A and B are shown apart, each in its own frame.
Chain A
Amino acid sequence: MFRRKRTSQDFAEEIKAHLELEADDLEREGLSQDEARWKARREFGNVRAVQERFYARGRWVWLDRLLRDVRFGLRSLRQSPGFSATAILTLALGIGANTAVFSVMNAVLLRSLPVSDPDRLVYLRTSNPPRGTGTIDSNETFSYPVYDALRRQSRGLSPVMAYVPLSNSKVAVRYGAQPEEAEGDMVSGTFFSGLGVNLPRGRGFSEEDETNHAPIIVISYNWWTRRFARDPDVLGKTLYVNGVAMTIVGVAAESFEGVEGSGSTDFWIPLQNRRELNAWGNPPQDGKLYVANSTWWCMRMIGRLAPGVTRAQAVAQLQPVFQAAAYVGLGSPMEGEKPPVLSLADAKSFAGYDQQYGNPLRMLMAMVGLVLLIALANVVMLLLARNATRQREFSVRQALGAGRGELLRQLLTESLILVSAGGALAWGFAEMATRLLGQWAEIESSIAPDRTVLLFTLGVLVFAALLFSLAPLRVALGGGATLALKTSAATSNTDAGKSRTGKIIVALQMALCVVLLVGGGLLTRTLRNLENTPLGMRIEGLAVFGVKPNIPSIPQGVAFYVSLMNKLRVLPGVESVTIMEERLGSWWSDNGDMRVDGRLPEVASGASRTVRSNVVGPDFFRTLGIPVLAGRDFADSDTASSPHVGIINEQFAKRFLPNENPLGHTIGTDDGRYTMTIVGVVKDHKYRSIDEEPIPMAWYMYAQIPMVGPMHVEMRVHGEPLAILPSARKAVQQLDPNLPLIRPMTQREQFDTTISQHVLFARLAGFFGFLAVVLVATGLYGSLAYRVNMRTVEIGVRMAVGARRGQVVWMILKDSLLLTASGVAIGIPLAMLVGHALTSSLYGVKPLDAVSYLLAVLGVTVVALAASAAPAGRAASVDPMTALRSE
């Protein structure tokens, strides 16, 4: 409309003019003035109705009505700000916690790999590796000959892609002058094309690049952003990986950070064949790199099902190829040996994440689900209480002609307002919590809420809105129009059924609260146990970092480490220095059988013969502060030309050399090619992680074995351990300017990473338990206070006829103690189920830990008493006369 809209007032004036004109005409026709006016008005009919029609013309009636409802709803919510604020906050906490945990779960467990058509991607798995092979993971890694055979002869999978890390942590890279470290994989030429990963800049690899072992590199978008500030000119520049020059040819799609969930890959290079870039950064074994080594199963594989081929068909076609290739270089399988069986696993979502975070996340999701239930129940109870006091209002409105539909609409609008306010707050809360969760859990892939999360939250909100509007409807309508005629609130407020519903809800809340408290308690005690676990060494004052020198030959490698240790020992503040192949507290260990006195030791059937071993330098046990029980530590004088020496722990001695002096016995590798004499026995201590049980261990002297590779340096220093790093870095770079310190940290921090997930899990569980307690306390307080209010008259009567204050207080307290008792009775069995489900996450605590249960029961009792104290006190101070007059 171009003209300004005509006002209703103008229209009303026109009607007034009409009535006057009509009356004039009628008067002229012979009626009296009064009669004329009457008739004009009568003939016109309902003036208001016409004005309404004018008003409604061209408007969205429903929108108009909605706005009015919303205005009304806001007004009535504003009348009880305490109620509104409590309801909105409760909702925000409950829904926010759920959204946060769900978005982490969504990102980690549900979201697909960022590749095209992820449903057709499969990880390759084997039932077991053939005898006599070494693996990274006995089900997930394969040898190069297997990969080569599969990729050439596979019709079911097209293509078969392999990827293998250059290191089990990070590798040394250099761009410009400063050496640094990054995570990188060697991959098939078909890797990017086969996965269907876009390269917004540059190109990926081709099969030719793989055959030629082209020195080219594709970097991840994330690393490009972090390290290169999205410099578009980075293409064509040179990046040194372990000192090997590589040309940057591409940047991968933004969200793609490799096909393993844990950790994020910074760069990819085609499969290489040179000693600096061996798989996993290992030194060549018997002079053989991973490409030539058929007994080292170190490569992970992923494939894309060929068009029209089912998974079963693909397996059937690949099985014979796989089983033949598995024995390349091993001879034929031994009599009775089970050949490895190939299988295919879903690669739709990240493989590593589910193992690592699956169970804790599902437990957390269940916990926040309970918190949400408690929160929803709270708000329902608040609404019930509030609407019960408004029953008179509803009755009056019904008496005045409001239909049930209208009341429902009003309740729906009010709950919509509550839910939208709570939801908006929850979303903000969840975004914050998600970011924090991501940082704590060190999940590197993006976990920001996405559309799935939004849908989930909206679903919860809609459910809440319906629940909130339908639950109080019965109460609202229950009164009917006639209730308005009754005058006493006492008659309308003693509805037994209503308070029974309230009682049941409170008891159930208590039960859920018990469950959450028991769960939180068990995990917190686990955490305490883990943090206080003795490690068996002097952990303070130790700094550790990795080095990955270029080692052309074994003597040169040993010489490098000798001069490195000599340089580091003389730095000011350094007490002692040693080196080790596997870093302590990093989850890594080298496990295998060992010969004792020339043969594999006899063990009782079912018992394990596995020995965990490590390769270490001189002063190893002195540096770590591990007591040597018998014999001696490794020393500088143990060299390649001196007799081979080894050290074992108590467990080793106990299991394989019981009741004799282990010193002087010989032990060695299971193939019998390397032997050494035991010169020391050390006390059992923690090795891989804090929560492990001791197992037999043996240590080789690095300078004596026929292999030398990257090492970790352990330094015991006076004062703050990390303060030594700058001077240590200088010392390392005097030997080789290309070498960064790899993952430098204190040894304490390194061990703590093995329980970081427990810590996070326990903290979150504790937090949610606490949240549940707060919610239950508010809910209980609210409903008790409300019920005491309702009983003011009754209490007045009781006191007037002689009840003492103590009796009144006890009456109220008894009420909530009974509720608590029934809540506990329901909660304990539930908590036992939860405790059972938690078993794998516990350490040093039984799932039926009495202390946790006692504390939980005590917790809810205290909450119940605290929440009833105020209402009970108020009830006792009721003056009988006031109470009786209050109506």
Chain B
Amino acid sequence: MATRENDDRIALLQGTLDLLILKTLVLGSCHGQGVARLIQSQSEDVFLVDHGSLYVALQRLEDRKWIRAKWGVSENNRKARFYSLTQHGREQLVEKTGEWRRLTRAMGLILDSGNGPQREEA
């Protein structure tokens, strides 16, 4: 049963997982399992994608009309649901990528600044 706490956790992941999905789909349409594998391999197995969350995220993006989905046939002849980016999704990808870059740069600036208690503890 879904509860509020779960929703909060999703919210935390949302930014990153959504962005990763959009980025993966920019290469072309793909099914959910493919997206999971791609993220895992492209991140050099740093990210272990929770499959359940992935499908919920895919559904969410579809609801927002950032991606669209169609049932099709995979390369090894299995039935699968294929996702592709919409125009709206592309715009979002550009925007979110920018946001993420600014965020990581700012984080980097702070963490590399060379003062602060963390360093002594580290």
On A, residues with C-beta under 8 Å from B are 1, 6, 11, 13-15, 17-18, 20-22, 24-25, 43-47, 49-50, 52-58, 61
Contact = CB atoms under 8 A, between A and B. Distances in A.
Contacts of B74: 21
A68 to B, nearest CB: 12
Interface string B45-62: 000001111011001101
A22 B52 contact: no
B6 A18 contact: no
B55 A14 contact: yes
Q: How large is the interface on B (under 10, 10 to 19, 20 to 34, 35 or more residues)?
A: 20 to 34
Given A1-B63, A21-B80, A44-B52, A14 B32 contact: yes
Contacts, number: 68
A17 B55 contact: no
Given A1-B63, A17-B80, A53 B33 contact: no
Contact of B33 (A25, A49, A55, A58): A25
A882 B112 CA distance: 87
Max chain B Cβ within 10 angstroms of own Cβ: one of A15, A18, A20 = A18
Contact of B52 (A6, A21, A53, A57): A53
Nearest to A15: B55
A6 B1 contact: no
Contacts of B81: 14, 17
A14 B6 CA distance: 22
Contact of A53 (B6, B32, B78, B79): B6
B96 to A, nearest CB: 21
Contact of A50 (B56, B60, B78): B56
B80 A57 contact: no
B52 A50 contact: yes
B77 to A, nearest CB: 10
A56 B5 CA distance: 13
Contact of B56 (A1, A18, A44, A57): A57
Interface of B: 1-2, 6, 31-34, 37, 50-53, 55-56, 59-60, 62-63, 74, 76, 78-81
A43 B53 CA distance: 12
A21 B2 contact: no
A25 B37 contact: yes
Contacts of B2: 52-53, 55-56, 61
B52 A20 contact: no
B39 to A, nearest CB: 14
A18 B52 contact: no
Contacts of B76: 21, 24
A6 B81 CA distance: 13
6 contacts: A14-B80, A17-B79, A17-B81, A57-B63, A58-B63, A61-B2
Given A14-B81, A24-B78, A54 B56 contact: yes
Given A21-B74, A21-B80, A49-B52, 11 more contacts: A11-B55, A14-B32, A14-B55, A18-B33, A20-B78, A21-B34, A44-B52, A50-B52, A50-B56, A54-B55, A57-B60
A412 B84 CA distance: 49
Give the residue among A44, A45, A55 with the most B Cβ atoms within 10 A.
Answer: A44
Contacts of B6: 53
A25 B33 CA distance: 10
Ordered nearest first, which 8 A-B pairs have the shortest CB separation?
A50-B52, A56-B2, A21-B33, A44-B51, A18-B33, A14-B81, A17-B80, A53-B2
A879 to B, nearest CB: 50
Contacts of B52: 44-47, 49-50, 53
A22 to B, nearest CB: 5
B51 A53 contact: no
Contacts of A24: 76, 78
Contacts of A15: 55
A54 B76 CA distance: 28
A45 B74 CA distance: 23
Nearest to A14: B81
A57 B51 contact: no
B72 to A, nearest CB: 10
A25 B74 CA distance: 12
A54 B4 CA distance: 14
A625 to B, nearest CB: 87
Contacts of A52: 1-2
Contacts of B51: 18, 43-45, 50
A15 B59 CA distance: 12
